[in-house]
Amino acid sequence: MQVLKKILPILINRYFLVSVGFVIWMLFFDQRDYFQQRERAAELNKVENAKKYYNDEIEATKKQLNNLQNNPTAIEKYARERYLLKREGEEVYLFQDTVTTPATATDKK
């Protein structure tokens, strides 16, 4: 009973009530509420990861382009691998990997 007498004045204090109302408003009802901010932060993280991935891909492509522009053997290698080109009198054999990996214990769940 004495605990209730000590807590009740605090709970009906207008500053406490306004503060609780403000916190509830900011968490749930505001235009930029807490949950929306978390979603936006997660989306920003995804976009930054995608930006990093694409920048890495651009750098790799630039290196490949530089190599192709300056190295004639690289051009031949690229043409053979990418477009399956061959020299006159050569035969090209293509092998497909038909072996599948066995299912692991985590795949069965």
pLDDT tens-digit series, residues 36-53? 889 999 999 999 999 999
Spatial separation of the C-alpha atoms in residues 94 and 74, rounded to whole Å: 21
Computed from CA positions of residues 58, 62, 67, 69, in that sequence, does the dihedral angle turn out positive or negative? positive
Tell me what percent of the chain is helix, strand and coil, each rounded to the nearest 5: 70, 0, 30
Domains in the chain, number = 1
Query: Considering the chain, what percentage of its residues have pLDDT values greater than 70?
Result: 93
Which pLDDT score is estimated for 44? 98
Q: Is 27 a domain residue?
A: no
The yes-or-no verdict on residue 10 having pLDDT over 80 is no
Q: Is 22 a domain residue?
A: no
Confidence label for 103 from pLDDT (cuts 50, 70 and 90): low
Q: Is 76 a domain residue?
A: yes
Q: Is 24 a domain residue?
A: no
Is the model's pTM score more than 0.75?
no
pLDDT tens-digit series, residues 28-38? 888 888 888 89
Q: Is 15 a domain residue?
A: no
Dihedral of the alpha carbons of 7, 13, 16, 20, in degrees to the nearest 10: 90
Q: Is 61 a domain residue?
A: yes
pLDDT tens-digit series, residues 61-71? 999 999 999 99
Q: Is 51 a domain residue?
A: yes
Q: Is 41 a domain residue?
A: yes
The domain containing residue 54 runs over which residues? 32-84
Residue with tokens 């991935």: 53
